Chain A
Amino acid sequence: MATTTPEPLLSPEMLAQLERLELVSRKIFRGRMKGERRSRRKGQSVEFADFRPYVQGDDLRFIDWNLYARLDRLFLKLFLEEEDLHFFSLIDASASMDFGEPSKFLYAKRLAAALGFIGLCRADRVKIETLGQAVANPGPTLRGRRSLWRMQEYLEGVQADQNVSLLDGVKNFCIRNHGKGILVLITDLMDKQGYEKAFKYLMAQQMDVYIIHLLSPEELEPDVSGDLRLVDCEDADVAEITVSRPLMQRYRQTLNAFVDGARQYCSRRGMTYMLASTETPVDQLVSNYLRQRGLVR
Chain B
Amino acid sequence: MWPTWISPFTWWQGIIFAAVPPAVVIALYFLKLRRHPLEVPSTYLWHRAIEDLHVNSLWQRLRQSLLLFLQLLILLLVILALFRPGWRGTELLGDRFIFLIDTSASMNATDVEPTRLEFAKKRVDELIASMKSGDVAMVVSFSDEPHVEQAFTDNRRQLRKKVAAIRPTNRRSDLTKSLPIVAGLANPGRSSTTGTDDIQVATAQPANLYIFSDGRFDSVPEFDMGNLDPTYVPIGEGQSNNLAITAFNVQRNQETLDQLQAFASIENFGDEPVTVTASLYLDDDSADSAVIRDAAEVTVEPGKEKGVQFDLTGELEEGILRLELDETDHLQLDNRAYAVINPPREVNILLVTSGGGSLEQVLSTGGIADMAQVSIMAPSQLSQQQHLESAAAGAYDLIIYDACAPAVMPRCNTLFIGTVPPAPKVVGTEATEEEPSPAEEAEPAAVEDGADSPIHWVASEVTIEPIIVDVAQTHPLMQYIELSDVLILEATPLLVPPGGTTLIDSDAGTLLGIAPRDSFEDVVLGFELVSGEGDPNTNWPIRRSFAIFALNIVHYLGGATIELETATIRPGDTMTIRTEGPVPSIRITDPDNQTTILKQENADTFLYNETEQFGAYAVRQDDKDEITQRFSVNLFDTNESNIRPIEKLKIGAEKITGERVWQPLRREAWKYLLLLVLCVLLFEWYIYNRRVYL
| Chain A interface (Cβ < 8 Å from any Cβ of B) | 95-97, 99-100, 104, 188, 190-192, 216, 218-219, 224-234, 237-247, 250-251, 253-255, 258
Enumerate the 7 nearest inter-chain pairs by beta-carbon distance, A residue then B residue, closest first.
A190-B42, A96-B41, A229-B35, A239-B43, A99-B41, A251-B49, A242-B64
Q: Of B35, B42, B46, which contacts A234 at CB under 8 A?
A: B42
**Separation in Å of the B689 CB from the closest CB of chain A?**
9
**B53 engages A232 (CB within 8 Å):** no
| Residues 368-410 of B contacting A (Cβ, < 8 Å) | none
**A230 engages B49 (CB within 8 Å):** no
Q: Looking across the interface, which residue of chain A has its beta carbon closest to that of B42?
A: A190
Contacts of A238 in B (CB 8 A): 43
A-B contact pairs, 22 of them (CB 8 A): A95-B41, A96-B42, A97-B41, A99-B41, A190-B42, A192-B42, A225-B691, A226-B36, A228-B36, A228-B38, A229-B38, A230-B38, A230-B46, A232-B41, A239-B43, A241-B50, A243-B691, A244-B691, A245-B692, A250-B49, A251-B46, A258-B48
**Separation in Å of the A278 CB from the closest CB of chain B?**
11
Whether B623 is near chain A, meaning CB under 8 Å from some CB there, is no
Contacts of B49 in A (CB 8 A): 247, 250-251, 253-254
* A293 vs B53: C-alpha distance when bound (angstroms): 37
Contacts of B40 in A (CB 8 A): 99, 218, 230-233
Interface of B is mostly: mixed
* Binary flags per residue of B658-694, CB closer than 8 Å to A gives 1, else 0: 0000000000000000000000000000000001110
* A239 vs B693: C-alpha distance when bound (angstroms): 20
Whether B30 is near chain A, meaning CB under 8 Å from some CB there, is no
**B38 engages A244 (CB within 8 Å):** no
**Separation in Å of the A61 CB from the closest CB of chain B?**
59
Q: Of B38, B45, B693, which contacts A219 at CB under 8 A?
A: B45
**A250 engages B50 (CB within 8 Å):** yes
- Most chain-A CB neighbours within 10 Å: which of B36, B41, B45, B47? B41
Q: Of B43, B53, B691, which contacts A230 at CB under 8 A?
A: B43
Contacts of A97 in B (CB 8 A): 41
**Separation in Å of the B409 CB from the closest CB of chain A?**
99
Q: Looking across the interface, which residue of chain A has its beta carbon closest to that of B52?
A: A250
* A216 vs B41: C-alpha distance when bound (angstroms): 10
**Separation in Å of the A163 CB from the closest CB of chain B?**
11
Given A238-B43, A239-B50, A247-B50, A229 and B36 contact (CB-CB distance below 8 Å): yes
Q: Of B38, B47, B691, which contacts A245 at CB under 8 A?
A: B691
Contacts of B47 in A (CB 8 A): 237, 239
* A188 vs B44: C-alpha distance when bound (angstroms): 11
* A192 vs B41: C-alpha distance when bound (angstroms): 12
Given A234-B42, A250-B49, A245 and B35 contact (CB-CB distance below 8 Å): no
| Residues 7-56 of B contacting A (Cβ, < 8 Å) | 34-50, 52-53
**B64 engages A231 (CB within 8 Å):** no
* A233 vs B38: C-alpha distance when bound (angstroms): 10
Other 15 A-B pairs with CB < 8 A, given A190-B42, A231-B40, A239-B47 = A96-B41, A190-B41, A192-B42, A218-B40, A227-B34, A229-B35, A230-B37, A231-B43, A232-B44, A237-B43, A239-B46, A244-B692, A251-B46, A253-B49, A254-B48
**A240 engages B42 (CB within 8 Å):** no
* A255 vs B44: C-alpha distance when bound (angstroms): 10
Contacts of B44 in A (CB 8 A): 190-192, 232
Contacts of B63 in A (CB 8 A): 242, 244
**B35 engages A227 (CB within 8 Å):** yes
| Chain B interface (Cβ < 8 Å from any Cβ of A) | 34-50, 52-53, 63-64, 691-693
**A227 engages B64 (CB within 8 Å):** yes
Contacts of B37 in A (CB 8 A): 228-231
* A232 vs B37: C-alpha distance when bound (angstroms): 10
* A239 vs B47: C-alpha distance when bound (angstroms): 6
**B45 engages A254 (CB within 8 Å):** yes
Given A227-B36, A246-B53, A233 and B41 contact (CB-CB distance below 8 Å): yes
Contacts of A239 in B (CB 8 A): 43, 46-47, 50
- Most chain-A CB neighbours within 10 Å: which of B45, B53, B64? B45
Q: Looking across the interface, which residue of chain A has its beta carbon closest to that of B38?
A: A228
**Separation in Å of the A192 CB from the closest CB of chain B?**
5
**Separation in Å of the A162 CB from the closest CB of chain B?**
15
* A218 vs B692: C-alpha distance when bound (angstroms): 20
Contacts of B38 in A (CB 8 A): 224, 228-231
**Separation in Å of the B365 CB from the closest CB of chain A?**
112
**B50 engages A188 (CB within 8 Å):** no
**A245 engages B46 (CB within 8 Å):** no
Q: Looking across the interface, which residue of chain A has its beta carbon closest to that of B33?
A: A227
Contacts of B42 in A (CB 8 A): 96, 188, 190, 192, 232-234
Q: Of B34, B35, B39, B53, which contacts A250 at CB under 8 A?
A: B53
Contacts of B64 in A (CB 8 A): 227, 242, 244
**Separation in Å of the A104 CB from the closest CB of chain B?**
8
**Separation in Å of the A65 CB from the closest CB of chain B?**
67
Contacts of B48 in A (CB 8 A): 254, 258
Q: Looking across the interface, which residue of chain B has its beta carbon closest to that of A103?
A: B41
Q: Of B39, B41, B46, which contacts A241 at CB under 8 A?
A: B46
* A255 vs B42: C-alpha distance when bound (angstroms): 12
**Separation in Å of the B33 CB from the closest CB of chain A?**
9
Q: Looking across the interface, which residue of chain A has its beta carbon closest to that of B65?
A: A242
**Separation in Å of the B61 CB from the closest CB of chain A?**
9
Q: Looking across the interface, which residue of chain A has its beta carbon closest to that of B688?
A: A226
Contacts of A229 in B (CB 8 A): 34-38
Contacts of A246 in B (CB 8 A): 53, 693
Contacts of A219 in B (CB 8 A): 41, 45
**A251 engages B45 (CB within 8 Å):** yes
- Most chain-A CB neighbours within 10 Å: which of B34, B35, B44, B63? B44
* A134 vs B691: C-alpha distance when bound (angstroms): 46
* A277 vs B64: C-alpha distance when bound (angstroms): 32
* A231 vs B47: C-alpha distance when bound (angstroms): 11
* A250 vs B46: C-alpha distance when bound (angstroms): 9
Contacts of B53 in A (CB 8 A): 246-247, 250
Contacts of B41 in A (CB 8 A): 95-97, 99-100, 104, 188, 190, 216, 218-219, 232-233
